[in-house]
Amino acid sequence: MKFFIDTADVDAIRELHDLGMVDGVTTNPSLILKSGRNILEVTKEICSFVSGPVSAEVVALKAEDMIAEGRKLAEIAPNIAVKVPLTWDGLKTCKVLSGEGFMVNVTLCFSANQALIAAKAGATFISPFIGRLDDINLEGLDLIGDIRTIYDNYDFETQILAASIRTANHVKDCALIGADVITAPPAVIKALASHVLTDKGLDQFTADWAKTGQKII
């Protein structure tokens, strides 16, 4: 399973990149706002050291304008995945841009049928939002499972990019279901390394080591 980092915070991406944890990056207008940076500049900086897909999202609502924005974003670097919303205009944009050879990430997916139609439109990635479904008391992970089954039934090549991941358990469950990619904030990626028994065990070892009076170096 590939790890994409869901942020436009360059320092946070760099830290994880140095550990080999970054297979790609996803951004969206809210994350660009949070970064306080210009979308073209910050995306270019991310692409200067991340070689995997870097999603940059269009903001227009009409297909013609989305296509123009997508082409402009794709000029930033060859590894840009143009992110479009799962609307009818977004699907038209997906069809055109994927036909031109660009990677397209279709986002804001909340149903299996939306994922099916995005695959038909040539999406490289489909981004189902787990956390936002959980927020309204639906089962976000069930959607990941349904899409996995549908894509496997028909050998669709569209990759399932599980998004809106809020917890380490979301990551584990996506791996068990067989999502191709998860995108998660840096804090969630770091949380994958944590376990209370690891901390407890280390405290015990440290205390016992001190009692030996020994040194390794």
Sequence-separated (6 or more) residues with CB below 8 Å from residue 195: none
Of 34, 83, 95, 120, the catalytic one is 83
The yes or no reply on residue 22 touching ligand G3P (CB under 6 A) is no
The yes or no reply on residue 43 touching ligand G3P (CB under 6 A) is no
Which two three-digit tokens encode residue 63? 């297909």
Residue 98 or 164: the one with the smaller Cβ distance to ligand G3P is: 164
Q: Which of 52, 122, 131, 178 binds ligand G3P (CB under 6 A)?
A: 131
CB of 144 to ligand G3P, least distance (A): 14
Site residue total, ligand G3P (CB under 6 A) = 11
| Integer Cα distance of 157 and 99 in angstroms | 15
Q: Which DSSP helix (H) or strand (E) runs through 55?
A: strand 54-57
Please say if 92 is a catalytic residue. no
Residue 94 near residue 84, CB atoms below 8 Å = yes
Residue 25 or 74: the one with the smaller Cβ distance to ligand G3P is: 25
- The backbone region for 147, taken as left when phi is positive above 0, alpha when psi lies in -120 to 50, beta otherwise, is alpha
How many CB atoms are located within 10 Å of the residue 131 CB?
15
Q: Which of 6, 89, 146, 173 binds ligand G3P (CB under 6 A)?
A: 6
Q: Cα 85 from chain centroid?
A: 15
CB of 141 to ligand G3P, least distance (A): 14
Q: Which stretch binds ligand G3P (CB under 6 A): 17-25, 66-74, 123-131, 195-203?
A: 123-131
Residues noted as catalytic? 83
